């Protein structure tokens, strides 16, 4: 029955209509990459003003870290 199939096995068996993976894997991957992108404040495309490095942090030298 459907209740006896493991999620991963079921996703691999699911037919891919328009791409390389089925709809369940596509949904899980979309959610995961969305969380990775918007959860990382250093992501290059993240435009939040409080994210990333400030100008002061960019000009620190190696001596400042010691």
pTM of the predicted protein model: 0.55
Predicted pLDDT of residue 31: 94
Residue 51 has pLDDT above 60, yes or no: no
For 1-45, the pLDDT digits (tens) are 778 888 888 888 888 888 888 888 999 999 999 888 888 776 666
Domain residue spans in the chain? 2-65
Predicted pLDDT of residue 27: 92
Determine what percent of the chain falls in helix, strand and coil, rounding each to the nearest 5.
55, 0, 45
CB contact at 8 A, 11 and 22: yes
Predicted pLDDT of residue 30: 93
């Amino acid at each position: 029955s459907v209740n006896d199939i493991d999620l991963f096995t079921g996703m691999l068996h699911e037919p891919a209509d328009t791409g390389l993976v089925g709809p369940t894997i596509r949904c899980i991957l979309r959610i995961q990459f969305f969380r990775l992108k918007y959860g990382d404040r250093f992501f290059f495309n993240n435009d939040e003003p409080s994210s990333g490095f400030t100008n002061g942090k960019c000009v620190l030298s190696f001596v400042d870290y010691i």
